[in-house]
């Protein structure tokens, strides 16, 4: 079994607890790696080290252009090592190799884009209303950024946080999910190879409460950027508030994928399947509520069932596989329990509905792609995030009804709209309360396009030019160009 160390201050270190825990391969259900069990002492070591790297040494002396060059080099190294990183992720996480290969050829773009952006952050000269002063703004990094990531897309989500944070000049402590820590530890070798100074990027592994929370609570932590469940996000935000720390939160979703009668039906069927069964439904943007206009409902469901039944399950390392295992055993249990919830609530099971017992699934944690019709939007299966291959189909009458149902949920991460009517597409995109609306497509993301949540789906935006400002603070500088100092008791 592979035994990993943590990475702090440019060194590979053992956890101060002296203990490791097992990481499992979801396809075999067997442990394959040992992950250091970090605790508060390791968190303290990492944050102090990152803080020292932020205040002293080569990093704060570098120009933004030099930081950009390092980020671009890191992007190149990720591209060169894409296969190895992809295989690590597949082994640890159960993601499809087919998807990971694509993802890891795309991840370098985050390092290129934010590397390029690093030296394009500009303050402004403010045309003041007062004579005799020169006033300008400048942007400065925050300090130590703690990046806490979930298990569903570890390397991609690390890139979303790390690239802008480093481009802005911060130092970072990464805390990957305890279920999928290996890829971050493999990745950080490339950070070292790229030539980032020691302490600029650190990785602390371990459980959320033991290793994550002390990073959040640490007085030298300036910002926490988190992707994960809304329950943990709330706890992190509450804790961060006590120290007036900044937070960026990307939380869950219960995204509506809305198909109107005038849609190109074949495309919408594909979009519905990719919205919920790609990545085994384990994405925050899963289109887990399929809203179908009543006039096309029955016909659409038949087409959807026909396509969904062809999904090939099995070994995620095989390029043929379309639906892989669930990443963690607790998540596997959770999905199965939600299937029971839906059955008990009176939803009609049309496909799947339990563990996959196909021979190609072996002993892995597989759930059959599952489709329910007759779902009412008030049911728990329509309101709560399942994070698995479980689709709830909800009929609607007209545009008004679709908007009402789409927005009647506490989340607001993504939404899909399928229609050939451009006016309707624009009206829907205006009225849906979600951070991303896709029209005649689903699940598209780019390093260039802002991503984040309305309502309980989060705080702040990742990706796109504005993301770098989430890791900067603005300073206003006043220079007296010749005003006499007058009465000191009067505000100027
Ligand atoms: P999930 O239920 O999808 O695993 P979590 O929100 O629990 O999502 O986990 C996402 C990340 O948050 C993981 O890296 C996990 O270790 C971390 N985490 C969980 N609980 C805490 C906590 N109390 N404080 C800080 N980090 C936490």
pLDDT digits (tens, 9 = 90+) for 162-187: 999 999 999 999 999 999 999 999 99
Task: Report the share of the chain in percent with pLDDT over 90.
Answer: 96
In angstroms, rounded to a whole number, what is the distance separating the alpha carbons of residues 227 and 176? 10
- Alpha-carbon Rg of the chain, whole angstroms? 24
Residues 345-374, mean pLDDT to the nearest whole number = 96
Q: What's the whole-model pTM score? A: 0.96
Q: What lines the ligand 1 site, CB under 6 Å? A: 148-151, 175, 177-178, 207-209, 212-213, 216, 228-229, 232, 235-236
Say what the pLDDT of residue 410 is: 98
pLDDT higher than threshold 90 for residue 491: no
Q: How far is the CA of 6 from the centre of ligand 1 (A)?
A: 18
Every domain of the chain and the residues it spans: 2-251+457-476, 256-439
Strands 454-455 and 246-250: unpaired
- Known catalytic membership, residue 470: no
Cα-to-centroid distance, 330 and ligand 1 (Å): 13
Q: Which residues contact 263 (CB under 8 A, 6 or more apart)?
A: 296, 418, 419, 420, 440
In the predicted model, what is the mean pLDDT of residues 312-333? 94
Assign 101 a pLDDT band (cuts: 50, 70, 90). Answer: confident
- 326/311 Cα distance (integer angstroms): 15
Pocket test for ligand 1, best of 148, 184, 238 (most atoms within 8 A of CB): 148
Q: 245 pLDDT exceeds 90?
A: yes
Nearest-CA residue for atom 18 of ligand 1: 208
Q: Looking at residue 41, what is its pLDDT?
A: 98
**CA-CA distance, 186 to 93, in Å (whole number)?**
14
**Per-residue confidence (pLDDT) for residue 139, from 0 to 100:** 98
Residue 487: per-residue pLDDT: 85
Segment 422-431 mean pLDDT: 98
User: What pLDDT, in 10s, does the model give residues 396-417?
Assistant: 999 999 999 999 999 999 999 9
Percent of the chain clearing pLDDT 70 (strictly above): 100
Average pLDDT over residues 261-279: 97
pLDDT at 492 over 80: no
The mean pLDDT value for 121-136 works out to 96
pLDDT value of position 114 = 98
Distance (angstroms) between ligand 1 centre and the Cα of 233 equals 8
Report pLDDT for 490: 84
Q: Which of 178, 186, 284, 361 is catalytic?
A: 284
pLDDT at 486 over 80: yes
Query: Does the pLDDT of residue 53 top 80, yes or no?
Result: yes
Atom of ligand 1 nearest to the CA of 229: 6
Class of domain 2-251+457-476: alpha beta
**239 CA from centroid of ligand 1 (Å):** 14
Query: What is the pLDDT confidence band of residue 488, given thresholds at 50, 70 and 90?
Result: confident
Atom of ligand 1 nearest to the CA of 235: 23
Q: Give the distance (Å) from ligand 1 centre to CA of residue 256.
A: 25
Best of 146, 177, 224, 253 for a ligand 1 pocket test (most atoms within 8 Å of beta carbon): 177
- What's the confidence (pLDDT) of residue 164? 99
Which pair of structure tokens corresponds to residue 357?
């017992």
pLDDT at 151: 94
Q: Which of 212, 216, 332 to mutate to test the pocket of ligand 1 (most atoms within 8 A of CB)?
A: 212
Kindly report the protein residue whose alpha carbon is nearest to atom 27 of ligand 1. Answer: 208
256-439 carries CATH number 3.40.309.10: yes
pLDDT of residue 355: 96
Residue nearest to ligand 1 atom 13, measured at CA: 177
What is the position in ligand 1's atom list of the atom closest to the CA of 233? 6
| Smallest CA separation from ligand 1 atom 23, residue | 209
Residue 236, pLDDT above cutoff 80:
yes
- For position 452, what pLDDT does the model report? 98
Q: Tell me which residue has its CA closest to atom 17 in ligand 1.
A: 208
Which ligand 1 atom lies nearest to the CA of residue 216? 25
> Is residue 266 annotated as a catalytic residue, yes or no?
no
| CA 255 to ligand 1 center in whole angstroms | 22
Q: Could you say which of 186, 250, 462, 470 is catalytic?
A: 250
Ligand 1 centre distance from Cα of residue 148 (Å):
7
pLDDT of residue 485: 82
Mean local confidence (pLDDT), 61-82:
98
């Amino acid at each position: 079994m592979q035994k990993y160390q943590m990475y702090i201050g440019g060194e590979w270190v053992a956890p101060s607890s002296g203990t490791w825990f097992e990481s499992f391969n979801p396809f075999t259900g067997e442990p394959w790696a040992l992950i250091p069990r970090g605790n508060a002492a390791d968190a303290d070591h990492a944050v102090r080290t990152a803080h020292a790297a932020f205040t002293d040494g080569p990093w704060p002396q570098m120009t933004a252009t030099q930081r950009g060059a390092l980020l671009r080099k890191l992007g190149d190294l990720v591209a060169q090592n894409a296969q190895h990183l992809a295989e690590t992720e597949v082994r640890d996480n159960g993601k499809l190799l087919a998807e990971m290969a694509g993802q890891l050829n795309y991840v370098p773009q985050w390092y290129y884009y934010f590397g390029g952006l690093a030296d394009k952050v500009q303050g402004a000269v403010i045309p003041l209303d007062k004579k005799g002063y020169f006033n300008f703004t400048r942007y400065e990094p925050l300090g130590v950024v703690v990046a806490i990531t979930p298990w569903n897309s570890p390397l991609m989500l690390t890139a979303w946080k790390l690239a802008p944070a480093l481009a802005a000049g911060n130092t970072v402590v990464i805390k990957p999910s305890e279920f999928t820590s290996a890829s971050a530890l493999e990745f950080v070798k490339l950070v070292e190879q790229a030539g980032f100074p020691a302490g600029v990027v650190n990785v602390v592994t371990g459980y959320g409460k033991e290793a994550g929370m002390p990073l959040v609570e640490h007085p030298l932590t300036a910002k926490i950027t988190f992707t994960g469940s809304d329950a943990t996000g709330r706890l992190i935000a509450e804790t961060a508030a006590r120290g007036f720390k900044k937070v960026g939160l990307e939380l869950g979703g219960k995204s509506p994928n809305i198909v109107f009668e005038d849609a190109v039906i074949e495309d919408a069927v594909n979009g519905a399947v990719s919205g919920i069964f790609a990545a085994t439904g384990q994405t925050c943007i899963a289109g887990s509520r399929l809203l179908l206009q009543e006039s096309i409902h029955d016909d659409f469901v038949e087409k959807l069932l026909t396509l969904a039944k062809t999904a090939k399950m099995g070994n995620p390392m095989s390029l043929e596989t379309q639906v892989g295992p669930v990443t963690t055993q607790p998540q596997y249990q959770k999905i199965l329990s939600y299937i029971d919830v839906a059955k008990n609530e009176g939803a009609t099971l049309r496909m799947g509905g339990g563990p996959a017992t196909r021979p190609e699934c072996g002993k892995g944690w597989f759930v059959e792609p599952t489709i329910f019709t007759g779902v009412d939007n008030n049911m728990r299966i329509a309101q709560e995030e399942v994070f698995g291959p479980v689709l709830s189909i909800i009929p609607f009458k007209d545009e008004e009804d679709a908007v009402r149902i789409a927005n009647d949920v506490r989340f607001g991460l993504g939404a899909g709209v399928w229609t050939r009517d451009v006016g309707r597409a624009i009206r829907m995109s205006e009225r849906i309360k979600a951070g991303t609306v896709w029209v005649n497509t689903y699940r598209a993301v780019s390093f260039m396009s802002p991503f984040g949540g309305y309502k309980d789906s989060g705080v702040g935006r990742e990706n796109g030019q504005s993301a770098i400002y989430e890791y900067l603070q603005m300073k206003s500088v006043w220079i007296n160009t010749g005003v006499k100092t007058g009465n000191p008791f009067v505000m100027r």
